[in-house]
Amino acid sequence: MTPALEKLFARQRHGIRPGLEMENALLDRLGRPERRYPVVHVAGSNGKGSVCAMLAAMFQAVGLKTGLYTSPHLVAFNERFQTDGQPIGDTELYALMERVETVAADAARDAGQEATFFECATAIAFEWFAQSGVEIAVIEVGLGGRLDATN
């Protein structure tokens, strides 16, 4: 595991924290990338990953540049962030991880708490899709609806 991934995965010690305050702080500092493209937000108890994969495939089939954010990954962390069915490359991922770590440090100083692993991963996804110029993104909810970082 690279040092950048180790740093991000170390954020798992902050646990799961329902609420949107930290995610909003991260996205504000990134310039609100999630507002640059439409999003299909998939929630529910079962089948979210399958529904997301099918939706992404349908959007791609009609020619839309499509982002897909799912969790967890099966083999490599890169799998969580896909554009037109291709995972983000290591170079792009590591650059985004550094950028998000920087804004997370600023947000932590202001908020008095650290961003969680999932909050940072979600910020990476939104920023990656904006940089990639997706025309639509399919986003899988993490653990919890209205107060989930993906919301």
Q: What local confidence, expressed as pLDDT, does residue 15 receive?
A: 60
* Residue 119: partners with Cβ closer than 8 Å, 6 or more residues away: 17, 22, 23, 26, 104, 149
Model-level pTM? Answer: 0.88
Question: Distance (Å, rounded) from C-alpha 34 to C-alpha 141?
Answer: 14
81 φ, ψ (degrees, to nearest 5): -120, 105
Say how far residue 12 (Cα) sits from the centre of its chain: 15
Is residue 1 helix, strand or coil? Answer: coil
pLDDT tens, N- to C-terminus, the chain (151 residues): 577 666 766 666 656 666 688 889 999 999 999 999 999 999 988 889 999 999 999 999 999 999 999 988 888 889 999 999 999 999 999 999 999 999 999 988 887 788 888 899 999 999 999 999 999 999 999 876 666 778 7
Contact criterion met (CB below 8 Å) for 89 and 117: no
Other beta carbons within 10 angstroms of residue 114's beta carbon come to 18
pLDDT digits (tens, 9 = 90+) for 44-69: 888 899 999 999 999 999 999 999 99
